[in-house]
Structure 1
Amino acid sequence: MREALLGVAIFVCLAGASLTSLLIHGRFPPHHRQDDTSAIVRLAANLFVVMTSLVLGLMINSAKNTFEAIDHNLHAYATELILLDRSLRQYGPETQAARQPLIAYVQRVVDATSPSQQSPIVANRLSELLLNNVGDQLSVLTPPDDRHADMLRDARQQLQKVIELRWVLAEQSEGAIPGALIALLVAWLTLIFASFGFRAPCNATVVATFVVSAALVAAALYLIMDMDIPFSGPIQISPAPLERALAELKQ
């Protein structure tokens, strides 16, 4: 939701800057509308065009890396959940009390990552308590022999890995693109669009071009910001790995 509002705000800034410049440039004193003045304005705009292109490239690369890193960690997260459940099954029926909160935890995680839910994968206090309950159940087990002691140790290590990946995903889910960089980029784009209206003819074609261009640029920035936070919006990490893990746990 926040990214959508930012996209709308960016569109308003860009379209407003270009249309305002288009409407008021004719009221400037004659010496402000000379060719030399126009050349300087275009030169300054070209400088910001280059800088904007570089920053946009960095933002796209950052959002792409964040998306791929979270997708990789989500697959690893689902795999560790399956391996933990397998270890608990191999230990014996004594771990049934630990498997129940584990299954309930994965179910809540899957529900939280469904398209209808706009919440991060780990932003759920009850889910955290369920996962902690798995550790509590493991702590009360008393292995009857060395073989079961080894399996219990492996299960605890796998649970620790699940907890680590959970918090890694929690940290990554907030995005990596600084807000100040987005604000600076929007300021540059606003100046660029304002330069478009300087000495431009005031007709419907020009106005439509400004509006459509502002909409497309705002949409592109919105998608970049949305990709940087891949648990909400139209570009989301697929919950398929977690759904497969849940199916494995319920077998």
Structure 2
Amino acid sequence: MNSLAVSFVVFSLVFSGALVGIVLRRALPQEHLGEDAKDTMRLAIGLVAAMTGLVLGMLVSSAKTYYDGQRSKVAEMSTEVILLDNALAIFGHDSEPLRVEIRQSVGDAVDRIWPKEKSRLSELRPKSNDDVLNAQMQLLIPKNDEQVYAKTQVALLMQSLRKSYWLMFLESEQATIPIPLLAVVTLWLVTIFISFGIFAPKNATVMATLVICALSVSGAIFVILEMYSPFSGVLRISSTAVRDAMDQLARIR
């Protein structure tokens, strides 16, 4: 879902609601705009505004939790890559083919997730080369207790790295705002802005305020959607941690 397009649609609908309210104010009989009517509508709209605020707060919190979780996974996987290479270094030259393969696999994953070409889309789905890695790991023959322990650590780290990568991908496949919930929140916002238009005086200051308020709520929707797309867009998670790990791997001998 395109964050900018969705937020623009929300802005258009919400601000149009204010314009509809202004038109309704002219069409409604004067007795429908009395003090009693205003008080009743303020109470009703206050309830809708409270529900809207709670739902938006919940969505922002949920999106931020997901975003922070994905960023933590990137840092964790970067650490696991370095630890894996360090464990393999204990085997000396015998582990060089496996270390080269792991570095190549990590480099390919980085290029897919954070493509250098702006025209390419981020591709989070892992490409499995487990058979090659497992076959090369089986060729490592421990010669002392240190290498026996190192091989156990290599197996655990490789399994943890695969698990973290697949978990990050699967979570990204399910992370988004449900369309019905987004539609309901937008409807509530439109309702609130219709009430603004009905009771607000028609002048430049009021219109500018309504535009700013509509931009604010559509901006909140934009930020929520962007946090649910942490590997693309404006709020993209930085690849610095992974690239730093790659730089350290290149220096390890």
TM-score, normalized by the shorter chain, greater than 0.5: yes
Question: Is the CA contact (8 Å cut-off) linking 2:176 and 2:225 kept in structure 1?
Answer: no
Over residues 101-152 of structure 1, what are the superposed CA-to-partner deviations in whole Å (9 max), with x where a residue is unaligned?
A: 21112212332225846415x325xxx2345532332134444555434322
Question: Any stretches of 5+ residues in structure 2 without a counterpart?
Answer: none
Question: Is the CA contact (8 Å cut-off) linking 1:7 and 1:219 kept in structure 2?
Answer: yes
Taking only the aligned residue pairs, the percentage that are identical comes to: 30
Matches within 5 A, 1:14-163: 14-111=14-111, 112-113=113-114, 116=118, 118-120=121-123, 122-124=124-126, 128-130=127-129, 133-144=132-143, 147-163=146-162
Shift of 1:212: 2.1
Q: Would you say how many aligned residue pairs link Structure 1 and Structure 2?
A: 247
Question: Is the CA contact (8 Å cut-off) linking 2:103 and 2:249 kept in structure 1?
Answer: yes
How does the TM-score come out when normalised to structure 1? 0.87
Distance in 2 between residues matched to 1:46 and 1:203, nearest whole Å = 24
Shift of 1:207: 2.3
Over residues 218-250 of structure 1, what are the superposed CA-to-partner deviations in whole Å (9 max), with x where a residue is unaligned?
A: 112211221233212211222111011111121
Aligned partner of residue 197 in structure 1, secondary structure? helix
Q: State the Cα RMSD in Å.
A: 2.3
Question: Is the CA contact (8 Å cut-off) linking 1:104 and 1:130 kept in structure 2?
Answer: no
Query: Aligned partner of 1:8: which letter?
Result: F
Distance change (3 Å), C-alpha of 1:233 and 1:148: same
Aligned partner of residue 76 in structure 2, secondary structure? helix
Distance in 2 between residues matched to 1:14 and 1:162, nearest whole Å = 45
Matches within 5 A, 1:142-221: 142-144=141-143, 147-174=146-173, 175=175, 177-221=177-221
Shift of 1:192: 0.7
Shift of 1:99: 1.6
Question: Is the CA contact (8 Å cut-off) linking 1:105 and 1:131 kept in structure 2?
Answer: no
Identify the range of structure 1 (129-138 vs 79-88) with the bigger mean alpha-carbon deviation: 129-138
Aligned partner of residue 230 in structure 1, secondary structure? coil
Distance change (3 Å), C-alpha of 1:176 and 1:136: farther
Question: Is the CA contact (8 Å cut-off) linking 1:17 and 1:193 kept in structure 2?
Answer: yes
Over residues 125-182 of structure 1, what are the superposed CA-to-partner deviations in whole Å (9 max), with x where a residue is unaligned?
A: xxx2345532332134444555434322221111001001112211333436444333
Aligned partner of residue 232 in structure 1, secondary structure? coil
Query: Aligned partner of 1:123: which letter?
Result: R
Identify the range of structure 1 (174-183 vs 189-198) with the bigger mean alpha-carbon deviation: 174-183
Aligned partner of residue 90 in structure 2, secondary structure? helix
